[in-house]
Structure 1
Amino acid sequence: MAGLFPKHWIPEVMDEFELALQFGISVLVVACPCALGLATPTAVMVATGKGASQGVLIKGGNALEKAHKVKTVVFDKTGTLTIGKPKVVSAVLFSHFSMEEFCDMATAAEANSEHPIAKAVVEHAKKLRQKFGSHAEHIAEAKDFEVHTGAGVSGKVGDKIVLVGNKRLMRAYDVPVGPDVEKYVSENEQLARTCVLVAIDGKVAGAFAVTDPVKPEAQIVVSFLHSMGISSIMVTGDNWATAAAIAKEVGIKKVFAETDPFGKADKIKELQLKGMTVAMVGDGINDSPALAAADVGMAIGAGTDVAIEAADIVLIKSNLEDVVTAIDLSRKTMYRIRLNYVWALGYNVLGMPIAAGILYPFTGIRLPPWLAGACMAASSLSVVCSSLLLQSYKKPLNLKDSQAQV
């Protein structure tokens, strides 16, 4: 650039080369992309920290970025929409076995299962044993124990083959389900209860009716998601009647029932093929394939380690309202990142011509290197401060505060 300036442009204290060098240094300093480099990582760092303090553990920026695109949330039923603490409300016999024998068989078969319903059955069966006169603490162990995912368990107790599960398990083993059993199951399913059938040596010996109350915030969360333009779907391994009753209670219109773990993952993929960005919310081993298949997997904090490992986001407090928090925080973060980029790019677009001397011929104003450095630092600082504003983020749906005010 030396030799290109009119003589009257050049300050008395420097020559042509020195002036050109100062313009070059100023451009180099202003062009430094520090602000652009800070725009995303600072926002992600602040957002993940804020999320953790709110009870939402986000595993990296990829999950945070995808969550803002979510248009469909798929909920598991047991332990997600429901409290996850099933309780047996009735038990009935359909055979010649005594209640004590029936409970012994059911307890032995279910003892090794990790499913919440199995634990409820074992707890209730033990109480019934004591009620009907059995004080023996020892319970026979089931041999050849096998878990039939989405259906129940089977095993050999003594010399008897015991099946504990739903009607699908009975059908798989060709166990006839009589009209009295069908009536009991139908009546309880209409009340949103799950029926656990116990078959001994190929015949239904009795059944337990299990209830699992819906979480008090479930309906509000589903409604709030709808107001955000997000649809809700329920997928469960439970029967259609119980699933439909629970879905109606919480306000979900679309239901997939009697679905095994890989069937849940297939449903997620079907939705994705329709162009939907899908979040899956679940808590159990049965949900882990679907959590992994979803664009964003959200695990209930009180759920199994397998589900938590498969998920992208963990809802530490096990509150459904944190599903809303995770998606809303993602949206706010992406907005902040875009704002950071606009500011950083705007600084470069405006700063570089000024640093190059576009104003100098007309006004005599130029940007010395030291001032260019200060502008660069101010730009980076402004981006960091912009990201730090995410620290003031508040949950859009805070049911505890609402209840406290009431």
Structure 2
Amino acid sequence: MIVNEQTTGNNKKMTSYLAPLVQQIPPSGIRKFFDLVGDNKDIITLGVGEPDFVTPWHMREACVYSLERGMTSYTSNAGMPKLREAISEYLDTQFDTKYDPKDEIIVTVGGSEAIDLALRALIVPGDEILIPEPSYVAYSPIASIGGGIPVGVETYAKDQFKLTAEALEAGITPKSKVVILCYPSNPTGAIMTYEEWLPIAEVIKKHDLIVIADEIYAELTYTQKHVSFASIPDMKERTILVSGFSKAFAMTGWRIGYMCGHPELIAAMLKIHQYTVMCAPAMGQVAALEALTNGLGEKDRMVESYNQRRRLIVQGFREIGLDCHEPQGAFYAFPSIQKTGLSSDLFAERLLTENKVAAVPGNVFGPQGEGFLRCSYATSVTQLNEALERIGNFVYKLQKEG
């Protein structure tokens, strides 16, 4: 029987076999937009959240050497013991969060798997998942797939997109169970200080909520050191800390992340991990261990380079006439394009087609992102300068049209 993409032999559409929930989930707004870019070499891309650095050589070499030695088997489900020990020491010394490598850490297939594991282990259908917006595009779909109900919590440019206790409190109902915190923030670059976390912690304790703290950008802060939510008093036991090697160590394609938390929560998530992926790739774990053992210097140099570009792009947007709060973490600027009168979608589409710059419309990160544009500055200074010139020309053209 010949089956095409649309129907089976009895003219039944193949999509009818799919779960309705999956059919309702839209594709990633970021990937959908950048499919338009294709292989066009004339386009400058400020969109995908990926370092422009190559993984440092000694980390790649550690992987190659492990392959030459035949290290191609499964590791422990939770990850190589030496890597878990290194993660434990790293988090303790860098972010004042101490976890037992034996039963409080799992090495995952990127931070994305860790978030999925946490939500699948926690959600009972109908539970509400509180997500400060603008937010990373994957949180709401993953929560929905698990039967949860994502609930956006508003943050604002006037507050530098920081979460407030008042906004969090306003979003809580008797069905609220989990809060997802992503600071430093994708897409806004916002961070939270110790003092700003304290009232958030009080609300979470008051309503007996569980926290998934996505701290994948923890190392990428510029004006002050990252404060892990798990380090706030009384928050470690109710926090699942998620991080990884993709952003800080330029290891996106290696897909090595980790999650840390209370032993009982970690044990439950390990069961799901065992039955879905077994373990993270052994050679990637070897490279990650090398990163923590000998790669902190390269990490610091990359962060300093991002800081230079951060200052450049913020100043550039302001000179163009676009309001742009100063991102203090991650590697994204989130300028307002409201003065142009265009929607985020239309601005991004016209900027791409007319001036050959690709950036992400802010509304893909939730309703609070409408009127903004996410621009990654994880690209060369030369590219950033050219992109700013093109954006400036585009904005000037819009002003003349108006």
Same fold, TM-score > 0.5, yes or no: no
Bigger fraction of residues in strand: 1
Normalised by the length of structure 1, the TM-score is: 0.26
Q: Tell which structure's C-alpha radius of gyration is larger.
A: 1
